[in-house]
Amino acid sequence: MNTIPLTIRAAADTSGGPEDWAHLCITAAQEAYAAALSEPPAIERSDAERMFDELATAGGAKPGPSHLSGSALSAAAHAAAAAAFRCCMPQLTNRRSVQCFVACTTTGLLRGYLDGRTSNALLYAAQAALTAHPKRASKRRK
């Protein structure tokens, strides 16, 4: 579920700093949350439950709710927001993107889109990426 177009990702990757990436991830998460609330996901029902609903409605009874509601809807919306947040995080292609990735990871942890265990794994990946992208040797003046 990659909710942002590649052109937006490319623009953020080349010109955006850590704050821009964090803002992009937060915006995507907020939009996914709002979309999940406005169009609640349908409840996955087993074949037996669907057959029961058909028999019940044939007898004149009203079928049960077919969409999530209440705390289940809130949990589904939060899960959609967390997924959108993770999908919008930068790829670890260079040192600058690693900085942006770390900013997004900490922002996601603080805002509740990422849990502690996931954040630890992501920060470890960022640390490994830094070793893969060595710092350029600076030219010293004499």
For the chain (142 residues), the mean pLDDT of every run of 10, in chain order, is: 50 72 93 85 61 62 55 83 94 92 96 95 95 73 54
Find out whether 43 and 64 touch, Cβ atoms under 8 Å: no
pTM over 0.85: no
Block residue for tokens 């997924």: 83
Query: Residue 1: inside a domain, yes or no?
Result: no
Show the domain range for 84.
6-132
Rounded to whole angstroms, the Cα distance separating 96 from 21 reads 11
| 3-state SS class at 92 | coil
pLDDT of residue 75: 85
* Structural domain includes residue 137: no
Residue 141 lies in a domain: no
Domain total in the chain: 1
Tokens of 34: 């709002």
